[in-house]
Chain A
Amino acid sequence: MERGLYIAASGMLAEMARQDQLANDLANASTPGYKADRVAQRAFGDLLLSDSADGTTVGPLGSGAAIDKQETDLRQQAMRDTGQPLDLAIQGDGYFAIRTAGGVRYTRNGAFTADAKGTLVDQLGNQVLGKNNQPVKVTDGAVDATQVGVFKLANPVKQGDSYFTGTAGGQDSGEVRSGNLEGSGVDPARAMVDLMASMRAMEATQKAITTIDSTLQLTASQVGGLPG
């Protein structure tokens, strides 16, 4: 009986984690180059129940759920024309490479600017690498888009600050477009629906807990109680 309590509680925790993830997607609904996440739940291992009196098999019993898989939707999103020469977007595959203090990071967020030396930097002031792995020169407030490097990245993992890490793999085929930004990969309608569904699922699990609780209460207070 009390096993059911913990199974239901694990379901609630998984829904809460899903909501945290969706909140992050919604917070980034207009972050250029942001890639939305998808999470998948997995059931814990099933237990095989058997009748303790005669040993016959009753059937499997699930033992709860947890989120164990997260996938980032890396598809290219629609481009938005900004007219700003230092806003860059990649048409096709690949990432911009950024030289940070912690090593080279990759991003598809091309809201760049220039630094005091006239080199192209990202919003945190880190240098953007060109095709030759050298910083890109900004002349008269613009860059030669063909000089900006587009790099291949396998197994990208989000790092925050719009950066990805992964296994670098040389140049990629994408083409850099100046005056554009890639939109956020968040579909607000889908995220809202997911959020609502998750909340209802959580509500249902909570009902399961309270029901089990009432049954336990009856067991504790009424079974064995003498009438009168």
Chain B
Amino acid sequence: MLEGMYTAAAGMAAQQSRLDAVANDLANASTTGYKRVRMAYRDLAYTAGTIGGTNALRLGAGAAASMIGRDDREGSAQETGDPLDVLIEGRGFMQVKLDGKTWLTRDGHLQVDAQGRLATGDGALVDPPISFPKGTTPDQIAIGADGTVTAAGKKLGQIRLVNVANPAGLDGGADNRFQATSVSGAVSAAPRTTVLRQGMLESSNVDVGDAMADMIDAQRSFELASKAIQVSDQAMEIANGVKR
């Protein structure tokens, strides 16, 4: 008889996950190359409610939320003029290496590290590595649409653009870096249409208006489920009142 309470509690838990996801999206509304999280909701198992009803009555067990990957639409381009900023136009990622592991990222805010190597903002090296000769100034660096990196007219290497069959299945997300999994499929070369644009960055694809509306909806749904718990509780109180 206490099922109603747990049913509503499951609904609250689902809305809580949604609020967490929206809060994270909003926090990353201006993170370069951030992709908003996609959540999906479903109802849970149904069982025959034999107490107080016949077998025709089927009682559900609430709702559940699950993350189904990320919204991989491109964020808008933002002109920065910095020669070490690159925007990936089209589908795909840059391949980088950190701590011996290969990662994928769309965060094109690059830098030259202390050893003169091309790296991302958090120190992951572009893979295969590209080193600049000593004394290279940023304005000598040119990054071509195909990823070719030249300094003062001399070709130094090429930034590798890759893609996976299902970007929604990529693992990670911390520091804007992702790893291929069995769900995402293996890493392969990005399509030819994917190009780099120097001097630009990709904005976060979080739409603040949408995210706020989603948050309000989640909060109200949370409240509704909590009211159902209160009513179940009152019903129990009434039932307890039968024996004075």
Asked whether A and B interact, the reply is yes
- The residues of A with any CB-CB pair to B shorter than 8 Å are 10, 12-24, 26-32, 34, 37, 39, 66-70, 83-85, 109, 111-118, 122-124, 138, 140-141, 157-162, 188, 191-192, 195-196, 198-199, 202-203, 206, 209-210, 213
Contact A68 B8 (CB under 8 A): no
Q: Specify the main secondary structure of chain B where it touches its partner.
A: mixed
Q: How far is the CB of B202 from chain A (nearest CB, A)?
A: 15
B208 at the interface (CB under 8 A from A): no
Looking at the complex, which of B21-29, B106-114, B152-160, B178-186 is the stretch in contact with chain A? B178-186
Q: Decide yes or no: A30 and B57 within 8 Å by CB, A23-B7, A24-B7, A118-B165 being known contacts.
A: no
| Complex: chain A residue closest to B59, CB-CB | A20
Chain B's closest residue to A65 (CB) is: B52
Question: In the complex, which residues of chain A have a beta carbon less than 8 angstroms from the beta carbon of B57?
Answer: 17, 21, 39, 67-68, 70
Partner of A123, one of B15, B66, B165, B218: B66
Per-residue CB contact flags for chain B residues 53-95 toward chain A (1 = under 8 Å, else 0) read 1101111111100101101110000000000000000010000
Is B98 interfacial (CB 8 A cutoff)? no
Q: Are A17 and B59 in contact (CB under 8 A)?
A: yes
Q: Which 4 interchain pairs have the tightest Cβ spacing? A: A27-B11, A17-B52, A13-B52, A24-B60
Tell me whether A210 and B244 are in contact (CB under 8 A): yes
A162 and B10 in contact, given A19-B232, A116-B166 (Cβ under 8 angstroms): no
Interface hits, B1-35 → A, CB 8 Å: 1, 3-5, 7-8, 10-12, 14-15, 18
- Which residues of B sit under 8 angstroms from A198, Cβ to Cβ? 231
Of the residues B8, B49, B242, contact of A206 by C-beta under 8 Å: B242
B242's nearest neighbour on chain A, judged by CB, is A209
Q: Which residues of B contact A115 (CB under 8 A)?
A: 166, 169, 183
CB of A2 to closest CB in B, whole Å? 14
CB closest chain-B residue, reference A162:
B42
What separation, in Å, do the CA atoms of A108 and B234 have in the docked complex?
34
A26–B56 CB distance below 8 A = no
Report B's interface with A, CB cutoff 8 A.
1, 3-5, 7-8, 10-12, 14-15, 18, 38, 40-46, 49, 51-54, 56-63, 66, 68-69, 71-73, 91, 165-169, 182-185, 217-218, 220-221, 224-225, 227-229, 231-232, 234-235, 238-239, 241-242, 244
Residue of A with least CB distance to B64: A161
Q: A27-B14, A29-B11 are in contact. List 4 more A-B contacts (CB 8 A).
A: A67-B56, A109-B41, A158-B46, A203-B238
Q: In the bound complex, do residue A30 and residue B40 qualify as a contact, i.e. CB atoms below 8 Å apart? A: no
